[in-house]
Amino acid sequence: MQTIVNKTFKEITPGDAATVQRTLQAGDVRAWAAAFGEVDMLAGPGESQGAAGIVTAILTALVGSALPGPGTSIRTTSVQIKGALPIGAAMTARLVVREKRSDQGIVVLDGQCTDPAGQIVATAILEVLAPTTRQQYQMAEHRLEGLVDRCRDLKPMLTGVVHPCSADALAGAVEAAAAGLILPVLFGPEAEIQQIADQAHLDIAKCRIVGTDGPEDSALKAATAAGAGEVAALMKGSLHTDVLLHAVMQKEAKLLTGRLISHCVMVSVPTYARRFVISDVALNIAPDTDQKRDICQNAIGFARALGIDLPKVAVLAAVEMVQTKMPATLDGAILAKMADRGQIVGGIVDGPLDLDAAVDAEAARIKHISSPIAGLADVLIVPNIEAGNMIYKNLAFMADAQIAGLVVGARVPVILTSRADSAAARRFSAAAAVLYADALTRDPAILLPEIAE
């Protein structure tokens, strides 16, 4: 949770400032353009109402969260677009107090947005009625940039990049290294990797390369290195997922824990004010009840490592009532009772719950569902891979969600990058791996807690 505290009118002085960075995606521009009825979503800088909407939203959010903060009432805003908003890159929004009007309690703020090169893309003037009393509130973590921010005080993590024999795969490792998240160790044919780097203009001079004879050899050597503690995480390159995971599961790799490995993805959706975890969307096709117990426990550990102290876990089904002909509802009820008996620990588990009741308190109220999870779910356990994969991809590709995914349950995290992943998704997943590995070092019970048998 994040604590938001305001500044009262008396505490504010001219020159006070607040800053935030936001990385805009094409989907942001499309959504705002549609809201303003614009046919050309990337209209010129002085013509795009969508751009004005984005800037206004970012600056007014900064008013409400930082300067002056909670309790502020916005009276007027005036925005001018000076240049094209950066897409896929960080835009910096800044507010500075220009003046105070003591007779009215009004604060006048100058707003400015700049692109990564420091060029001004928008300016604004905002007049706000500042709060007169101290206010604060707890806000759930939302955007995934916070994962990267939390890694700034940690050393880059030695990461085995498995068979990065495509420009996309190699670029993902180089980008994560440039962000200060990992130190890549490249497992693959050395000459081929160097040729790809040269053609794609990627600098891998500081990367150690462990030569291999092909995908299977790359996977086995990387997994063995992870089991020996030579690298702290693995990152999938351009080989098939099953080849990598087959190597991870080999006894000689020494990565198995006795628990099912599963995939967890943390998701941040612009229209939902808390980030959450979905599992399993990529590995286990139709898990039985015992396997779902491991999936649930893995997801709790993943959520805790990424900053959710006591995850609220919803075991999803199509309905919230137990129906003997619907196995997912039986699994939900069984897993909830297993958590009551200490067979699943570290979180609050309830089920069965349908998706709307899990994430929307009003829906749960209307349906008369009494649950500590209702409307507050941090983790969604899906019935099978089809349901999970469709939810995940719908959010990622149609709702402009931020995502960070890992395979967990082995002794090191495995970053499963995809050719369709954005650069941001690769960066967030690398940050998730750094935080997960750090949590395992500080508290091994994150992975293998003591449970009742």
284 and 229 part of one domain = no
CATH of the domain at 195: 3.40.50.10950
Of residues 160 and 89, more confidently modeled: 160
Q: What pLDDT was estimated at residue 93?
A: 95
194 and 238 part of one domain = yes
Q: Which one of 224, 253, 282 terminates a domain?
A: 253
CATH of the domain at 313: 3.40.718.10
Tens of pLDDT, residues 348-407: 999 999 999 999 999 999 999 999 999 999 999 999 999 999 999 899 888 878 899 999
Q: Which one of 392, 409, 426 terminates a domain?
A: 409
Residue range 418-439: average pLDDT?
Answer: 87
| pLDDT-derived band at 104, boundaries 50, 70, 90 | very high
pLDDT at residue 44 above 50?
Answer: no
Distance, in Å, from the CA atom of 130 to the CA atom of 127, rounded to the nearest integer, reads 9
pLDDT at residue 46 above 50?
Answer: no
90 and 66 part of one domain = yes
Q: Which one of 198, 233, 253 terminates a domain?
A: 253
Q: What pLDDT was estimated at residue 143?
A: 81
Q: How many CB atoms lie within 10 A of CB 49?
A: 15
Identify whether 58 is part of a domain. yes
125 and 169 part of one domain = no
Contact 422, 415 (CB under 8 A): no
Contact 135, 70 (CB under 8 A): yes
Question: Average model confidence (pLDDT) for the chain?
Answer: 91
Of residues 138 and 322, more confidently modeled: 322
228 and 274 part of one domain = no
Identify whether 190 is part of a domain. yes
- Domain span holding position 168: 156-253
Q: What pLDDT was estimated at residue 214?
A: 93
Number of domains comprising the chain: 3
Distance, in Å, from the CA atom of 230 to the CA atom of 59, rounded to the nearest integer, reads 46
54 and 104 part of one domain = yes
164 and 97 part of one domain = no
Tens of pLDDT, residues 49-60: 778 888 999 999
CATH of the domain at 31: 3.10.129.10
pLDDT at residue 39 above 60?
Answer: no
Identify whether 425 is part of a domain. no
Residue range 194-198: average pLDDT?
Answer: 95
Q: From 66, 63, 60, 93, select the one nearest 6 (Cα to Cα).
A: 66
